[in-house]
Amino acid sequence: MRIILTLILALATAVSAAGPRARDLGVPFEGEPGALNAITDVAGVTVGQVTLIEDLDGGKKVRTGVTAILPRGRETLELPVFGSWFALNGAGEMTGTTWLEESGQLQGPVLLTNTHSVGVVHDAAIAWRVRQGGTDSEGFWWSQPVVAETWDGDLNDINGFHVRPAHVDQALEKAATGPVEEGNVGAGTGTICHEFKCGIGTASRRVAMDGREHIVGVLVQANYNPPRESLRIAGVPIGQHLSEDPAHREGHVADGDTGSIIIVVATDAPLLPHQLKRIAKRAGMGLARMGSTASNGSGDIFIAFSTANAAALRGAPLSLAEVIPNAQLDGLFEATVQATEEAIVNAMVAARDMEGTEGHYAKALPQADLVALLEHYGRLVK
């Protein structure tokens, strides 16, 4: 039954992916996006998602899923990437960060799910890795998966533990390059932002440096939830204008600045782990542009990795790595801020109204009102 539901949802999300993105509505953004305006603009990065939507007896509803990001696609099984992480506010979880901090290497995929499914996803990721055969790049049979979460319990029957190992396998196996589904999909199926329905979002930026072009790509699982009044898009106080309209206050969503956001930053720029930590920190500035203040109850946790320097990570006794000097990182910092902001707006624009568990309901950001307000403030791109 669950496999059938997943297939049905794949068709539904394909329709959603065909809808307008934020730029299509005329939202102005800084910077030049990559060809797909997605994290998969970084060569080698693949994304797979499994969406779980099911109505159960007694008013409970399943609204959750799994999102998998493989830094080097299938080659992720054998070859790590340099990486780092940063917690702007730590009311959340991202596993595997102790070894990531110690080694400076991300040795496997990044998996996103709901708070109460971290354990099953963690175990399933290890089992999947074992089934692929072969040791890691250093000859060891071990895994420390990176699994991050946000709490989707407003809309999802989170204590029903509906994510299964098979769903993790599906997300990993279907990971691919190309366009990334956004909105009510994967780990973003049951998430909420600024009291509106939210979800998965992605964006990218091109960065020119000394005659070479690099890409910064961002994917967000956006579930942070400050008051609606704080929502800003392209500098316009959208939330203040929608907060007084009863039509946009329907449903039962969490009040106050609770919830979380996981931000994954990928780049093909040759950076070392300490530089990637600096990149990860800048994701918080893109979040701030949206109106978040990273409150006490928010789990704002970011991870960044670089797909460059493959030769230096193959385990040779002596390896040389290419690196961009610190003094030349500003363009990458700026690209991270810009792509993070756009990824969150893309998540909101792609999301659709959702009826959740036990009568809870989250309405999507009204696109017509967004366009009208941008035009009113002279910010609409026509």
So which residues are the catalytic ones?
Answer: 260, 298, 300
Q: Which helix (H) or strand (E) holds 131?
A: helix 118-132
For residue 307 the two structure tokens come to 């797909």
**Side chain identity at 203, as an amino acid letter?**
A
Cα–Cα distance measured from residue 247 to residue 251, given in angstroms and rounded to the nearest whole number: 10
String of DSSP letters for 280-305 = HHHHHHHHHHTT----TEEEEEEEEE
Helix axes 165-173, 118-132, angle to 10 degrees: 60
Say how far residue 193 (Cα) sits from the centre of its chain: 13
Distance CA 320, CA 298 (A): 40
Q: What is the 3-state secondary structure (H, E, C) of 371-382?
A: HHHHHHCCCCCC
Cα–Cα distance, 299 to 291 (Å, whole number): 15
The count of residues in the chain is: 382
- C-alpha separations of 299 from 35, 92, 223, 295 in Å: 31, 4, 9, 9
